[in-house]
Amino acid sequence: MRAIKARKVVGGTGRGEAMVSLEPICFLGGVDVNTGMITEKGHPLEGRSIKDKVLIFPIGKGSTGGSYLIYETVCNGMGPVAVINLKADPVTVTGCIISEVPMVVDPGENVFDLIKDGDMVEVDGDAGIIRLE
């Protein structure tokens, strides 16, 4: 097992399959709150669901309304189990806090090299550690 240090943002532990996007994700208009499906046209993850995934993307984008939509997706049981971002942005950070989704940012190593789609990953938001199995 390999452990990567990261800055903790939201506590708790989430474990699941990695879903990796090199592109930013916009939750306002980009994700269906009822299915967890990415709906943004032309997005590399278009048509795939974030449900129960450890969602890994560089940074969020879009308006503050996006925070509420993360919350709604999670309330509907369609949210990710954890989020890893390279850089913190207000929308995703706020969304994960109100939805209680474990979240870390600024990983100490290049997660895009080390983690591939479908790998089992655990995010420990209390310790600020990403564990790869």
Partner 1 sequence: MRLTVDEEEMLAGKRGRVYQKAMQILFQLGEIYGAEKMIPVSNVHMPGASVIVAGKAGTRLVEEMAKEGGIFAVSTTLNPAAGDFNTWQEIGFAREDMELQERLTGGYREMGAVPCHTCTPYLTGNIPRKGEHVAWGESSAIAFANSVLGARTNREGGPSALAAALVGRVPAYGYHLDENRRGQVLINVNTELNGPWDYGTLGYWAGNIVQERVPVFKGIPWSVSLEELKLLGAALASSGSVALFHVLGVTPEAPDLETVFGGSEPVQFLEYTEEAAVETVTRLNKHKGDRVDLVAVGCPHASIQEIGQVAEMLRGKRLADNTDMWILAALPVKTMADRMGYTKEIEAAGAQIVCDTCPVLGSTAAVVKKRGYRSLATNSAKLAHYSPGSWNLDTFYGSINRCVKAALSGRWS
Question: Can you give the binding site for partner 1, defined by CB under 8 A?
Answer: 9-10, 33, 63-65, 67-69, 71-72, 75, 88-90, 93-94, 97-98
The order of strands in the sheet holding 7-10 is: 2-5, 129-132, 120-124, 13-20, 54-57, 82-85, 103-105, 7-10
Looking at the Cβ atoms of 40 and 72, the one nearer to partner 1 is 72
CA-wise closest residue to 50 among 82, 79, 76, 22 = 79
Query: What's the min distance (Å) between Cβ of 99 and partner 1?
Result: 9
Query: What's the min distance (Å) between Cβ of 62 and partner 1?
Result: 11
Rounded Cα–Cα distance for residues 17 and 62 (Å): 26
Rounded Cα–Cα distance for residues 128 and 125 (Å): 5
Query: What's the min distance (Å) between Cβ of 86 and partner 1?
Result: 13
Catalytic residue, chosen from 21, 49, 63, 67, is 63
Q: Is 21 a catalytic residue?
A: no
Query: What's the min distance (Å) between Cβ of 75 and partner 1?
Result: 6
Site of tokens 């699941």: 16
Longest CA–CA span in the chain (Å) reads: 38
> Going by C-beta distance under 8 Å and a sequence separation of 6 or more, which residues neighbour residue 119?
17, 18, 132, 133
Looking at the Cβ atoms of 18 and 79, the one nearer to partner 1 is 79
Tell me which residues are annotated as active site: 63
